[in-house]
């Protein structure tokens, strides 16, 4: 597990999983995972995106109903550890302070309420807070002007 759930920085109901396999051909695993997901009674649609040019394939479920609301699920299948977020999550969990976590959650919540917490923005927020010392939404805006 990677992303906001692994970092305990959940604002948007989004689950990110990275699956590192020891096989040259990703497709048998992609088919097995997508077939499994489609067999689940709450899953109505599975999206497969070919990112083999980046050493992976992404499987997505856009709306998985749960008691807390609809969750999106993204599964990155790869045979190249460098394309996973395993090391990033481990490093962030080891380094993040409570104050940084609070700041990240505030900034993410701001963009979530605007419907703009997407397309890798969370990663930019993490990096801005940890690497650049950003402490507020206003500072984040100033930094990315």
Residues 34-93 have pLDDT tens digits of 999 999 999 999 999 999 999 999 999 999 999 999 999 999 999 999 999 999 999 999
Give yes or no: residues 33 and 70 share one domain.
yes
Give the pLDDT band of residue 119 (cuts 50, 70, 90): confident
Q: Outline where 11-120 has alpha helix (H).
A: 27-38, 86-95, 98-113
Residues 126-140, mean pLDDT to the nearest whole number: 94
Looking at the structure, tell me whether residues 8 and 43 fall in a common domain.
yes
Residue 90 belongs to a domain: no
Quote the domain boundaries for residue 51. Answer: 1-85
106 and 80 together in one domain = no
Residues 66, 107 within the same domain: no
On whether residue 57 sits in a domain, the answer given is yes
103 and 75 within one domain: no
**What is the maximum alpha-carbon separation in the chain?**
47
Are residues 73 and 8 both part of a single domain?
A: yes
pLDDT digits (tens, 9 = 90+) for 90-117: 999 999 999 999 999 999 999 999 999 9
The number of distinct structural domains making up the chain is 2
Does the pLDDT value for residue 145 go beyond 80? Answer: no
Predicted pLDDT of residue 84: 97
Query: Does one domain contain both 79 and 31?
Result: yes
Q: Is 133 buried (19+), middle (13-18) or exposed (0-12) by CB count in 10 A?
A: exposed
Mean pLDDT of 118-139: 94
CB 61 within 8 A of CB 43: yes
pLDDT in the model for residue 106: 97
């Amino acid at each position: 597990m990677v992303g906001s759930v692994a970092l305990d920085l959940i604002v948007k109901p989004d689950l990110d999983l990275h699956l590192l396999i020891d096989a040259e051909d990703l497709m048998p695993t992609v088919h097995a995972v997508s077939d499994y997901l489609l067999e689940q009674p709450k899953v109505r649609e599975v999206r497969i995106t070919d990112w083999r040019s980046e050493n992976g394939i992404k499987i997505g479920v856009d709306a998985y109903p749960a008691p807390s609301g609809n969750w999106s699920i993204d599964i990155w299948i790869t045979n190249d550890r460098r394309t996973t977020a395993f090391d990033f999550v481990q490093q962030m969990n080891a380094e993040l302070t409570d104050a940084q976590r609070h700041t990240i959650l505030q900034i993410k919540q701001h963009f979530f309420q605007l419907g703009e917490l997407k397309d890798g923005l969370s990663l930019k927020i993490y990096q801005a807070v940890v690497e650049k010392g950003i402490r507020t939404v206003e500072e984040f805006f100033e930094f990315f002007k």
